[in-house]
Amino acid sequence: MKIKLFCHSLLSDWNHGNAHFLRGIVRELQRRGHDIDVLEPADGWSRRNLLREAGPEAIDAFQRECPGLASRTYDPTELDLEAELDDAELVIVHDWNEPELVARIGAHRARGDYTLLFYDAHHRAASSPEQLAGFDLSAYDAVLAFGAVIRDVYVERGWARRVFVWHEAADTALFRPLARNGRDKSADLVWIGNWGDGERSAELREFLLEPARSLGLSGHVHGVRYPPEAERAVSEAGLSYEGWLPNYRAPQVFAQHRVTVHVPRRAYVQRIPGVPTIRVFEALACGIPLVSAPWDDCERLFRAGEDYLVARDGTEMKAHLATLLSDPEAAAQLAANGVTRVRERHTCAHRVDELLAIVEEAH
């Protein structure tokens, strides 16, 4: 099948976690013999910030490490949709495209013979619906929503004819256990995530920094958009701030640590219950024990207490971390459960199966 994917970026994961999932989907579609062509704007904010912070060598390194994952950049003012979509059988349009492009592709679909899907992988449909209300999806065959709560918003507001839940997942071609969890790790704790514009600053202090400080843990923090006061707070907690981490290197980083934590942004907790961040899928796939701040897994993607532990507050987070770091058998069992759950239900191969079934139903 000839597939076109219009995404914000495949090459840059700077503050763009959905790129992780899209890379896995592209890889799996290619493995199955599909012809997928990925397009991204030449001046997208993620790509622009990656180039500013890490330079063009960051994109060169990604292409060396992941040679099968490629995209073409375009200037929206010069994009020739007649030529681009001439032989397409499936077109997927990511929600971080400009409304004008979303509408242009929809208008082309009215004259074309392909399946057209809109993919929403962000919380703003629930948190800032006015931003989505301006998208013209009238010609789209269906919407892919990364959680049931997002699907329900589309249905209740009448934004689309058909809406399917399509959760993110782990690219297990990349995310897998690389070493046995145990005392041979180089550090105790790792956190991979962005500071988040105040959306979880208090939560990071309660569930990450204070437990690390009070337990005297060694470890590292990776991510972007950390203001100076955040970097100081990381240092005062006894952790080392490492800045942006290319996502293809995350499995190696997980393998060097004994435990990780999940601290969702406030919007995830308050607005989109049932939707974890991509890091939950990836960390569990890598076989590292995970302790999470509270979130409502109402869609039962995982098994709290078996695949990962939940800390209701900072005190409980400290207790869980202390237990896992002092009990290698308990840590190993928790990690093994998480790997099994991902492999049984939450790989990009599972999501491609779901995608192809949706295309068959929606066409």
pLDDT tens digits, one per residue of 67-109: 999 999 999 999 999 999 999 999 999 999 999 999 999 999 9
**Per 3-state DSSP, what percentage of the chain is helix, strand, and coil (rounded to 5)?**
45, 15, 40
Confidence label for 123 from pLDDT (cuts 50, 70 and 90): confident
Name the least confident of 11-20, 122-131, 186-195.
122-131
Closest to 173 in 3D by CA, of 110, 83, 251, 88: 251
pLDDT score of 181 more than 50 = no
What pLDDT digit, counting tens, does each position of 208-258 carry?
999 999 999 999 999 999 999 999 999 999 999 999 999 999 999 999 999
343 to 177, 243, 289: CA distances (angstroms): 12, 30, 16
pLDDT score of 179 more than 80 = no
**What is the Cβ-side half-sphere exposure of residue 15, based on CA atoms within 13 angstroms?**
17
What pLDDT digit, counting tens, does each position of 9-22 carry?
999 999 999 999 99
Q: What domains can be seen in the chain, in order of their start residue?
A: 2-169+347-362 (3.40.50.2000), 187-345 (3.40.50.2000)
Q: How far apart are CA 355 and CA 353, in angstroms?
A: 5
CA angle 125, 130, 132 (to 5 degrees): 50
Q: What is the distance, to the nearest Å, from the Cα of residue 168 to the centroid of all Cα atoms in its chain?
A: 7
